[in-house]
A and B are shown apart, each in its own frame.
Chain A
């Protein structure tokens, strides 16, 4: 916690405005490349989304999602290939099932399921990636900061 405060202070964050922190798990083959393409094409996206690369969206362990919320994320975005395009044939199907299940689990933790978002973004859908980051950031802003009671 110490590091967190010092870093924040030094960067001089304008207080009073809620800037949500969103973790984006992007699959290496489609969505991460799509986000790269957004960069190359200079298509603006929301700075709130911070990206972690996984080989496949199917690699996203339910515990990663819980962990992210626990560590202070206000939202979690998971993005993978469209159905039929998965580099690993069918990883995204498993992701879909897992995320549906996770939404139910989140409720039991007292976390609004809208804080978890699943999107299919191909390597060519830079604009979609950008749109999703803004939409999701807005959504999380409306929901407000996530306050988890820790013991």
Chain B
């Protein structure tokens, strides 16, 4: 083949760019006549029209079939010469370029060395081109849709340009509104146009254009593919407000949470439900929900604790009580005796102590009952024909009955005792939960139409079969755990020994018992404490609790233990009974043994181990055993045909998600499933069961539950913050947790009066103010309540949207430099020092001062200093010039003068007023009487005047008069540098875009292609590429749009056929390449046992070519032969 090769070699002088360092004629002569070189010439400008003409003519005249041009970088002019070859009838891939400008002439001084190197590079190209083969470019159809990332003025402009042509645009914006930084400005230089007046019409037309699909609150998560065929994945975050929103703003009046608004640069507050600014597009509110407050997440019924706490803080007690009662039908009970898992998870615990959430709930409920009377049962307008039986009227049964009844089902509750309420009625003593309050709660259920059948014991008074005969379709078993577990020690049967639950039941239904003088209670749970305190109230002189572990392991609530001890109950830790001492079948005392703690057991608690020879005897008149309870399941399996699975803990086995038993129409929950548990956990199961039962009766699959099962604890530490605008837990100021008032122990220990008095109003508000508003929105549902169109939807979830586009425009903008890094300027420490954007917001009529220039004390400044180049043109931070600061500093000067009578001092390094009308603007502002001082500010310090007023002294060297100066001012405005935004960094990674050393995105060519990237089909617009003002941004955005449109109207583009190709004859089927390919472009054909490359997926990186052990893979355009030849040529010289 090499015999017929005729190569034309052309060395470019590039004016003098190349020829002043490389002896171009010498290179041309050296190659002339060598190998297959037919023609070898040098020319002044190869890329010029006559230059290209030389190539074309030679191809025709000399019959050249290969061309080498040695000139600039192939990234610059490869395309030019390929086209020239093609015009002369030569395949465009039979051309090779040697880079002797960027890689040689421009970077070397030694003419000899540069000439040698240039010869080597040209020689390499000559050798290589010999092995090049004609290729056909691949065609790629262009998907006419375009993705634009970032909806500031750049993104908006590009989107509108493309939409104007009728082509579709996906405009992705991470914030809740479009408009970017420009929307924050008050006026724009040099025309002093109102920024909003020129921007908002564009924003509105974005929302009206049907070609533009606007995706706010969205992040691009993944992009794959190539020009014409990109696949995009976008996460559209939940807004929690639907487009039914009319933007009336009623919700913000009711929202109890206030956090600094990002749009106002955190200079004024907004509510959790908010709109960034009045003209925001889309014109829809948004709820800022950064995480679900942990108190809500921890609650099995998902009671909105943070919500009512916030309402209490705002003194909206009625709304708080309504919110509680809406979710919690046993609100009165829970306010008094809930185990409050919410408090254990409360983030305030990382600061000092968790909030007293339970007491706050009690306060709100008590306030409501004192001021508005009892809660009225709702009237249910839905009616379902199916009847449901609930066995057991404890918290689980009641919650299930309540929820089912709200759904319209007829519910009958069966209760074995004479009063409904289960453990609430017969397990909890009066002094913790007054009976009349429980009766009121039960009446609320009756009022809803729930039937109660008391004195009906399962197994003896009725069976489950009877219920089906009576027409019930579903049964919910919530019979609790009422059997006491025995100690299993000798003589436990004797008179004078009682079980804890039995004892409490008797007392609760009014049977008075004489326990004697000295009573022992065995156990460490709440039942044990209840029994001990009840025994005390029944007249026992001395009550001792025996517990085999220590206080640390005790399962009872700490406040209960504290109260018991305050009443004089003695707790004997690390003590366990081994035998009952009896006389004539009646109790005399206990034989006990001392314990010590060993290694933790499966429950995580340390196992008690008896200490040898520590046996001792204690005398008691009565002993109450309250170690644990277990369900009584005898009635279930009695005469019923239904067979249930029982666990080894003697509880009913159910599906933990659906609570369905082995019988499809029978569900179970509460203590009968969980074993002795808490009120709130049982209520949680009742609630889940109700949802499950409804699904069952609707013949729906039992999944996709909206009710709650508590998730595992989330790890949080003191370095975290409750939400993004708050201080870390460590930095948060510590406060005291309010202590609830209680009856004096002496006054309470002999009667059953309620011990806890509840918070006073003042206490409640103070305690509620300790809440950290975790996650910003605290789910008080006030916005939902007041929203007339019903636009608030708490159930909204993030959506993943996937779509295809042909091209991408990146317009991710800038962030401003954080001036607190420049310590001598005191930003963030001293008052009245503002960043440029903070001052923009101050100037805005929707900003914190309504557009007035004011100091923090509300007075007008007497003098204002404006400091240029804060963080730019500074080798410590950014070397570059931010380009816009000089001009907006002028704008600020004008506006300060316009709105106050203050003197203005500008501190600049060089005044840069390039651009149309800018120099004129500068002159105009100077004429307005602004003082300009040339010199970089060294330091800003706070000083005190003689009259005690504080002011800021700006210290700098005036380089024009060569003197050190100190200017007193009241306010300082910093001109912060423009920096690449954080999103730019993220997007650059996703799109594999290069960035220049300053962090801005790298353009294809700084002069000739400043809005393209080296990746075909990806363009840049605005400050993502570098700092620029609005006119330049708009021009660049339009240019990017024009480029995209040009490609769209072409319909398809040529793609270099640089692809891997597998020669099936050589492929051994080792499949090594299959896993190497990052695009999964290589498939293995099972029938032929060879791998093949999918051309559409291959990108031509050549990794597989380099790895193939059989040499079966060729890189088209970069084959092994070509590179070997290139090596040979490059090293020959």
Residues of chain B within 8 A (CB-CB) of A23 are 1127, 1130-1131
A3 to B37 CA separation, bound complex (whole angstroms): 14
Q: What residues of chain B lie closer than 8 Å to A63, measured between beta carbons?
A: 1120
Asked if A33 contacts B75 (CB within 8 A), the reply is yes
Partner of B1128, one of A71, A85, A123: A71
Determine the distance from Cα of A150 to Cα of B1058 in the docked complex, in whole angstroms. Answer: 35
> Is the pair B75, A64 in contact by a Cβ cutoff of 8 Å?
no
* Least distance between A102 CB and chain B CB atoms (Å): 11
* Closest Cβ neighbor of A7 among chain B residues: B1133
Q: Confirm or deny: B921 has a beta carbon within 8 angstroms of a beta carbon on chain A.
A: no
Q: Binary interface profile of A, 6-42, with partner B (CB < 8 Å = 1, else 0)? A: 0110111110000101010000011011011011101
Known: A3-B1132, A130-B107. A62 touches B1106 (CB 8 A): yes
Contact B1002 A67 (CB under 8 A): no
Count of A-B contacts judged by CB separation below 8 Å: 165
Residue pair B1106, A58 in contact (C-beta under 8 Å): yes
A94 nearest CB neighbor, chain B only? B1103
Tell me whether B1131 and A39 are in contact (CB under 8 A): no
- Are A59 and B1115 in contact, with the CB atoms below 8 A? yes
- The answer to whether A56 and B117 touch across the interface, beta carbons within 8 angstroms, is no
Our pick among B26, B75, B117 for the contact of A36 (Cβ within 8 Å) is B75
Q: Indicate whether B109 reaches chain A with its CB closer than 8 angstroms.
A: yes
Tell me if B1131 and A68 are in contact (CB < 8 A): yes
Known: A56-B1102, A61-B1120, A124-B995. A67 touches B107 (CB 8 A): no
* A3 contact from B34, B1079, B1103, B1115, Cβ within 8 A: B34
- A32 neighbours in B (Cβ, 8 Å): 75
**B1131 and A21 contact, CB distance less than 8 A:** yes
**Size band of the B side of the interface?**
35 or more
A126 to chain B, nearest CB (A): 9
Interface window among B50-58, B98-106, B691-699: B98-106
State whether the Cβ of B113 lies closer than 8 Å to any Cβ in chain A.
yes
- Interface size of A by CB at 8 A reads 60
CA distance A44 to B995 in the complex (A): 22
In the complex with contacts A38-B102, A64-B1127, A89-B1078, A58-B108 CB distance below 8 A: no
Q: How does the 8 Å CB contact mask read for B122-163 relative to A, with 1 for contact and 0 for none?
A: 011000000000000000000000000000000000000000
Taking CB atoms, residues of chain B closer than 8 Å to A39 are: 73, 101-103, 106-107
Task: Please provide the chain A residues from 120 to 139 with a CB less than 8 Å away from any CB of chain B in the complex.
Answer: 122-125, 130
Tell me whether A52 and B1106 are in contact in the complex, defined as CB-CB below 8 angstroms, given that A71-B1131, A124-B995 are known contacts.
Answer: no
- A29 vs B75: C-alpha distance in the bound complex, in angstroms? 10
B residues 582-622 near A (Cβ < 8 Å) are none
Contact B112 A122 (CB under 8 A): no
Given A44-B107, A55-B1118, A84-B989, check contact A33 B1014 (CB 8 Å): yes
Cβ of A148 under 8 Å from chain B? no
- B1128 partner residues in chain A, CB cutoff 8 A: 71
Whether A11 and B116, one on each chain, are in contact in the complex, defined by CB atoms closer than 8 angstroms, is yes
Q: Which residues of B contact A35 (CB under 8 A)?
A: 102-103
Q: Whole-angstrom distance between the alpha carbons of A14 and B1126 in the complex?
A: 25
Residue of B73, B989, B1106, B1128 ringed by the most chain A CB atoms within 10 A: B1106
Let me know if A106 is at the binding interface, CB within 8 A.
no
Q: Do B108 and A47 touch across chains, with their CB atoms under 8 A apart?
A: yes
Using Cβ atoms and an 8 Å threshold, which residues of chain B touch A85?
Answer: 989, 992, 994
* A53 CB–B CB distance under 8 Å: yes
Our pick among A4, A14, A87, A91 for the contact of B1132 (Cβ within 8 Å) is: A4
Indicate whether A77 reaches chain B with its CB closer than 8 angstroms.
no
**A130: B residues at CB distance < 8 A:** 107
B107 partner residues in chain A, CB cutoff 8 A: 38-39, 42-45, 47, 130
A143 at the interface (CB under 8 A from B): no
Name the B residues within 8 Å of A12 (CB-CB): 112
A107 interface residue, CB < 8 Å from B? no
Q: Is the pair B1103, A88 in contact by a Cβ cutoff of 8 Å?
A: yes
Q: Check if B1131 sits within 8 Å of A73, measured CB to CB.
A: yes
Q: Does A147 contact B (CB under 8 A)?
A: no
Q: How many angstroms from the CA of A63 to the CA of B1014 in the assembled complex?
A: 29
Q: Does B835 contact A (CB under 8 A)?
A: no
Q: Does B1100 contact A (CB under 8 A)?
A: yes
Which of B103, B996, B1130, B1132 meets A124, CB within 8 Å? B996
- Let me know if B526 is at the binding interface, CB within 8 A: no
Q: Does B198 contact A (CB under 8 A)?
A: no
Would you call A36 and B1101 a contact (CB within 8 A)?
no
Residue A116 at the chain B interface, CB threshold 8 Å: no
Interface residues in chain B, defined as those with a beta carbon under 8 Å from any beta carbon in chain A = 26, 30, 34, 73-75, 99, 101-104, 106-110, 112-117, 119-121, 123-124, 989, 992, 994-997, 1002, 1006, 1014-1015, 1058, 1076, 1078-1079, 1099-1103, 1105-1107, 1115, 1118, 1120, 1123-1124, 1126-1128, 1130-1133
Query: Quick check: B1014 and A123 within 8 Å, CB to CB?
Result: yes
Flag if B115 contacts A11 (CB, 8 Å). yes
Q: Is the CB of B106 within 8 A of A52?
A: no
Complex Cα gap A122–B997 (Å): 9
Is A50 among interface residues, defined by CB-CB distance under 8 A? yes
- Chain A residues near B1099 (CB-CB < 8 A): 88
Complex: chain A residue closest to B99, CB-CB = A51
Query: Is A98 part of the binding interface, using a Cβ–Cβ cutoff of 8 Å?
Result: yes
Pairwise interchain contact A7-B1078, C-beta atoms closer than 8 A: no
Identity of the chain B residue whose Cβ is nearest the Cβ of A130 in the assembled complex: B107
A126 closest partner in B (C-beta):
B997
- Asked if B1106 and A7 sit within 8 Å, CB to CB, the answer is no
Q: Are B1103 and A7 in contact (CB under 8 A)?
A: no
B1131 touches A47 (CB 8 A): no
Q: Are A7 and B110 in contact (CB under 8 A)?
A: no
Contact A91 B1014 (CB under 8 A): no
Distance to closest chain A CB from B998 (angstroms) = 8
Q: Which residues of B contact A44 (CB under 8 A)?
A: 107-109
Among candidates B101, B116, B1014, B1076, residue contacting A13 with C-beta atoms closer than 8 Å: B116
A14–B110 alpha-carbon span in the complex (Å):
12
Closest residue of chain A to B995 (Cβ to Cβ) is A124
**Nearest chain-A residue to B107 (Cβ)?**
A45
CB A32 to nearest CB in B, in angstroms, measures 8
Complexed CA–CA distance, A11 and B29 (Å): 11
Q: Could you give 14 example pairs across A and B, Cβ below 8 Å?
A: A3-B1132, A7-B123, A30-B994, A33-B994, A35-B102, A38-B107, A43-B107, A50-B1130, A55-B1102, A59-B1101, A61-B1105, A94-B1076, A123-B994, A123-B1014
Taking the complex as formed, is A72 at the interface, i.e. its CB lies under 8 A from any CB of chain B?
yes
B residues less than 8 Å from A89 (CB atoms)? 992, 1078-1079
Pairwise interchain contact B1078-A90, C-beta atoms closer than 8 A: yes
Is A111 engaged at the interface, CB distance under 8 Å to the other chain?
no
Most buried by A among B74, B107, B116: B107
CB of A65, distance to nearest CB on chain B (Å): 10
* Closest residue of A by beta carbon distance from B1132: A4
Q: Is the CB of B992 within 8 A of A52?
A: no
- Supposing A39-B106, A124-B995 touch, asked if A10 and B1103 sit within 8 A by C-beta, the answer is no
Whole-angstrom CA separation of A124 from B1101 in the bound complex: 21
Q: A10-B30, A85-B992 are in contact. Are A36 and B103 (CB under 8 A)?
A: yes
Greatest chain A CB density within 10 A among B120, B1100, B1101 is at B1101
Residues of B close to A62: CB separation below 8 A: 1106
A140 surroundings in chain B (CB, below 8 A): none
Give the CA-CA distance A42 to B1006 in the complex, in Å.
15
Residues in B with CB closer than 8 Å to A50 are 117, 120-121, 124, 1130-1131
Q: How far is the CB of B106 from chain A (nearest CB, A)?
A: 4
Contact B113 A19 (CB under 8 A): yes
Q: Give Cα distance in the complex from A47 to B1127, angstroms.
A: 16
Q: How far is the CB of B74 from the nearest CB of chain A, in Å? A: 7
Are A52 and B1102 closer than 8 Å at their CB atoms? Answer: no
Nearest 8 CB-CB pairings of A with B: A39-B102, A59-B1102, A58-B1103, A88-B1101, A56-B1101, A123-B994, A89-B1078, A61-B1106
Measured between alpha carbons, how far is A88 from B1126 in the docked complex, in Å? Answer: 24
Find out whether the CB atom of A54 lies under 8 angstroms from the CB atom of B110: no
A58 CB to closest chain B CB (Å) equals 4
When the two chains form their complex, are residues A86 and B1132 in contact, meaning their CB atoms are under 8 A apart? no
Of A40, A47, A53, A63, most B-chain CB atoms within 10 Å? A47
The minimal Cβ–Cβ distance linking A79 to chain B, given in whole angstroms, is 13
